[in-house]
Structures are given as structure tokens and as C-alpha cells.
Structure 1
Amino acid sequence: MPFRPAAAMAALAVVAAALPARADPAPYTDAAFEAALAAGRPILVAVSAPWCPICKAQKPILAKLAADPRFRDLLVLDIDFDTRKEAMRRFEARSQSTLIVFKGGREVGRSVGETQPEWIEGLLEKAL
């Protein structure tokens, strides 16, 4: 049977579409943030802690939104509340469950402790 690249790509697309959205954002690094800024990408910086119930509530909401084609270019970076105090100072974040969105290299929205899916979606839309 001959190899058919188009058929293989179509099969891969079906498999990729069936996979769940990545539940965990990429760990924050200055380099990743600066590269995304330079490229003009929309960015969500999420400050979270593994012991935080609000952060746990936000994760599936963010994962579902990450699967939405509107947010395909959004880079989500996670700052660990317990270990990344220097990054928290950079963004003037004072608590876990803080979500900060950037568009065009500047902050365009911020939320602390939000768990309503439609409000988080509205916040992310500001980055588009």
C-alpha cells in the first residue's frame, strides 16, 4: 500500500483534535516572556500554587479556553507562587490565582481569584 502524506496528515489532525488541551501552562522564564513580547504574541501570565483551591479551579477553565481556536496564539506562562518571588515582583503580583494578560507588549488586564469561566474568557479576549 503506498504512503499517502495527505491521508496521514488528516489522520494526525483527527488524533490531535481528540487530545485534551494541555492542562498545565509552560513554566515562566524571562526568556520565554521576552521572546513572546518581541514576536507580538498575546500572553497570559498565571500565578499559581499547587495547594491553592482557586488555582485548581482555574486550571480546567484555562485548559478549555486554550483549546478554543481564538486563543491558539496565546502563550500561557505559569509563575509558581512558592518559588518564583522575583517573577512575582516583576509583575507586581501579590497572591496566587492572579491572571495577567498582555497585548502588544503591555498589560491589558488583570484578575485575582476569579473562577467564573465567562469572566476568565473575557479577560483572555483582551489579549486578542
Structure 2
Amino acid sequence: MISRRALFLLMGFFASSIPSTASAAEPFDEAGFAAAQAAGRPIIVEVTAPWCPICKTQRPILKALSEQTRFKNLAIYEIDFDTQKALMRRFGARMQSTLIVFKGGEEVGRSVGETQGEWIESLVEKAL
């Protein structure tokens, strides 16, 4: 019987051989995040993992939203589920595929595992 850990390692291996969809997110940067909050920009913190199929579904939706005129000031920061545990604790995220939305310095919404474009869009609209 194959262990869960071995299964996830295999999934990560095969997922890494598939080209990923371009992302609108940038790696989480403390100074950039603080500046975006101070400027009152809408912000999404995306907790993602390279092996996560839900994250791969969310990525093109977020990219498409970031290209719309009404979301032109949207800042998207990515936290890696596997390597950035301290940031996950800071934001209270427990799973990959978590989207946390801020309007300036205030959290205004959160979603885990959402893949419906309309629902993700309505979540992001809370930050406007």
C-alpha cells in the first residue's frame, strides 16, 4: 500500500512536469503587502501549492480578474503552503487553495477550495 506522503510526492512530481498557467500573483513580500495596505489597495493573499489541483483552477480565474479594469489596483500575493508555514499561521490559513481578501488593512473575506469564477469574483469585489 502506498503512503499518503509518497502519493503527494508523486503528484507533485507529475504536476511539476505540466506547464503551469501564468499567475498574476507575486511571492508574498512584507514591504509590498504593507505598502498596498497603507495605500488602501484591494489585496488577495493566495495560499497555494504546486501539486494542488484546486489552486491550478483558481490561478487563471485570479489572473483574468486582475486584467479587468475595475480590478486594476488589485495586489495578489502568493504564500506557498509547503514552505511558508509561519506566514500561514500569521494569516490563520490551514489549507492550500485559501483566498484571503483585504480592503486596505482589514480582512473582508475568505474562501477555501472555491473554484467557481463568479463566487471568486464576488469575494474579490468585497475589497473594492
Under a length normalisation based on structure 1, what TM-score does the superposition of the two structures give?
A: 0.81
Are 2:36 and 1:57 aligned?
no
- Secondary structure of the residue aligned to 1:110 is strand
Contact 2:48/2:80 (8 A) holds in 1: yes
Are 2:12 and 1:25 equivalent residues in the alignment? no
State the Cα deviation string for residues 37-83 of structure 1 (Å, max 9, x = none): 11111100000000000000001111111111111001000001011
TM-fit CA distance, 1:84: 0.6
Which residue is equivalent to 1:84?
Answer: 84
Equivalenced residues, count: 107
Alignment of 1:35-114 (within 5 A): 35-114=35-114
- Structure 2, unmatched stretches of 5+, are 1-21
Aligned to 2:12: none
SS at match of 1:31: helix
Greater Cα radius of gyration, structure 1 or 2? 1
Q: What is the RMSD of the two structures over their aligned residues, measured on CA atoms?
A: 1.0
Report the counterpart of residue 12 of structure 1 in structure 2.
none
User: SS at the partner of 1:47?
Assistant: strand
What letter matches 1:54 in structure 2? I
Return the TM-score normalized by structure 2.
0.81
Partners of 2:38 and 2:104 within 8 A in 1: no
Equivalent position amino acid for 1:127 in 2? A
Percent sequence identity is: 65
